[in-house]
Every structure is written in structure tokens, then in C-alpha cells.
């Protein structure tokens, strides 16, 4: 099982859950130290017979990284039976006023790398009648003024995943989109609102719970998994809310976040 964005948050907990299930693992992220610590932790699980997870420290936003990952796995003689595309990040702020390079890097990671890895390993997945899990977000269901590029990138992930699911279905490959709501991980700190999600803590699921839900949905062959009642209700409300009201509400939330960041 190849897992990207495995150094923390949902990705790390997906790796832990898969490790407990006995999967052979290859872990990809930028942070080598965190990956090594996670690989050592998994290797020590009682009763585990699979080898220590393979650690691949790459920044998948770099254009050459997906090919390098594929080459290293080929050299190791590994065939990918399960691919988990979890790597991604977001940024808070107006698109016109935010750092352009950072936003384009977000597209490179959230969209291009996910797509390229899905395509590069599609032959392996077909040969193994494997499984693909793409981590999207509740953000996939709405436009996101204040985080425009991030929300749009997750809409792409959901649409791409659902379409790919149908295309690969005749080959015995299942493709699943995981669409969590807010989760207390390192994501918020990188996005620029690390200390700003107190008001929704009551509704948050833990990274462990989201990871378990995603793993179980993937293994069951579900097309879309929306973990948590609050997230399901949110998506239901989005579906019936007038678009102008939805835009106003999302913009107000992101503006409040931006203001609170400025106070920190």
C-alpha cells in the first residue's frame, strides 16, 4: 500500500491502521524524520510479519517526484495493490492577495500529483484488482471564497475520483473519495488558521476516526465516504442552500478566520 502525505494527520493514521492490518507499506512525504519515526513505530507492532515500511521522502509538488516514486518502487520490486492519495494543503486568504507561487504549488500537489500517481499506478491497480483512495474534503461540495484554490482543488478530486471509479469498475478496481469535515491535524497550521478552529471542535472527528472510516470504505469498495453526522448534515444543507447565500456564509467564515489569525 502506497500512502502519500503520511508524515502526519490522516495520512499517518491511515498508515497506522493499515499497519495493524498487516499491509506492506510505502510512505511518502517531505518530512523524512517523521516518516522514519512512523515506520519504526509500525515495524514494532506486535505480531506484524510484514517488513518495515519503505520510506520515500519526496515533495510531491515537484514535477519530477511522482516519476521518482514510481521508479523507486519498481527498483524495490513492489507492485502497488492499494494507493492512497492523501497529500495536500490549503491556504487561507483572498486568491488575488495570497502568494501566487504557494497557490500554484497547491494545485501541483492537490491536483496534478494526485492525478499523476493515479495514472502511473493504474496498470498495477488493474493487474492486482486493487483499490484507490483519494482524500477530498467537505470543501469539494461548495465554492470557497477565502480559500478559493483549495476548495476548487477538492472539487476536482471528488469529480475525478467518481469518474475514475466508473472507468475502472470493469477491471475490478475500486476507487473511493474520502470527504471529511474539519479534522484537528497539522493542516490548519499550514493553511494559516492553526489556532482558529475552537468553535467547531465539538463537531470534529479525530484523525484516527477519519482514517478508520476511510480505510473501511475503501476496503468495502464505496465510491464516496463522508465520515460523521455533522459533515453529512453540512453537505445536505449545501445541496439546498441558494448559491448566493452559500457564498456569503463561506466568505464570512473565512474572513473571520483571517481576522483571528491576525490577532494571534
The architecture in CATH of the region 2-263 reads 3-Layer(aba) Sandwich (3.40)
Q: Report d(CA 65, CA 71) in Å as an integer.
A: 10
- Return the closest-CA partner of residue 107 out of 57, 74, 155: 155
Break the chain into its structural domains and give their ranges.
2-263
* pLDDT of the chain, 264 residues: tens digit per residue: 999 999 999 999 999 999 999 999 999 999 999 999 999 999 999 999 999 999 999 999 999 999 999 999 999 999 999 999 999 999 999 999 999 999 999 999 999 999 999 999 999 999 999 999 999 999 999 999 999 999 999 999 999 999 999 999 999 999 999 999 988 655 544 444 444 455 556 677 999 999 999 999 999 999 999 999 999 999 999 999 999 999 999 999 888 776 655 443
The catalytically annotated residue of 150, 151, 156, 215 is 150
User: Can you give 60-75 as a three-state secondary structure string?
Assistant: CCCCCHHHHHHHHHHH
By three-state DSSP, how is residue 91 classified?
A: coil
Q: Report d(CA 12, CA 207) in Å as an integer.
A: 9
58 is catalytic: no
Q: How many CB atoms lie within 10 A of CB 100?
A: 10
Query: Which strand (E) or helix (H) includes residue 174?
Result: strand 174-178
Q: How far is CA 235 from the centre of its chain?
A: 18
Q: How far is CA 160 from the centre of its chain?
A: 14
**pTM strictly above 0.85:** yes
Q: How many CB atoms lie within 10 A of CB 19?
A: 23
Amino acid at each position: 500500500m502506497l500512502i502519500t502525505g503520511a508524515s502526519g494527520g490522516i495520512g499517518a493514521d491511515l498508515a497506522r491502521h493499515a499497519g495493524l492490518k498487516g499491509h506492506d507499506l510505502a510512505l511518502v512525504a517531505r518530512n523524512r524524520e517523521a516518516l522514519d519515526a512512523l515506520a519504526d513505530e509500525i515495524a514494532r507492532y506486535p505480531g506484524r510479519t510484514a517488513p518495515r515500511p519503505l520510506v520515500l521522502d519526496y515533495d510531491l509538488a515537484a514535477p519530477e517526484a511522482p516519476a521518482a516514486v514510481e521508479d523507486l518502487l519498481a527498483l524495490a520490486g513492489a507492485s502497488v495493490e492499494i494507493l492512497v492519495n492523501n497529500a495536500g494543503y490549503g491556504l487561507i486568504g483572498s486568491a488575488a492577495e495570497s502568494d501566487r507561487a504557494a497557490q500554484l504549488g497547491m494545485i501541483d500537489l492537490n491536483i496534478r500529483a494526485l492525478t499523476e500517481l493515479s495514472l502511473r499506478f493504474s496498470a498495477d491497480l488493474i493487474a492486482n484488482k486493487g483499490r484507490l483512495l483519494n482524500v477530498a474534503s467537505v470543501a469539494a461540495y461548495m465554492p470557497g471564497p477565502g480559500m478559493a484554490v483549495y476548495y476548487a482543488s477538492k472539487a476536482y478530486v471528488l469529480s475525478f475520483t467518481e469518474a475514475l471509479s466508473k472507468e475502472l469498475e470493469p477491471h475490478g478496481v475500486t476507487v473511493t473519495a474520502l470527504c471529511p469535515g474539519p479534522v484537528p491535524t497539522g493542516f490548519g497550521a499550514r493553511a494559516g488558521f492553526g489556532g482558529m478552529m475552537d468553535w467547531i471542535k465539538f463537531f470534529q472527528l479525530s484523525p484516527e476516526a477519519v482514517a478508520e472510516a476511510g480505510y473501511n470504505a475503501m476496503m468495502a469498495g464505496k465510491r464516496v465516504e463522508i465520515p460523521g453526522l455533522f459533515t453529512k448534515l453540512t453537505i445536505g444543507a449545501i445541496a439546498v442552500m441558494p448559491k448566493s447565500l452559500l457564498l456569503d456564509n463561506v466568505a464570512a467564515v473565512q474572513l473571520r478566520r483571517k481576522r483571528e489569525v491576525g490577532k494571534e
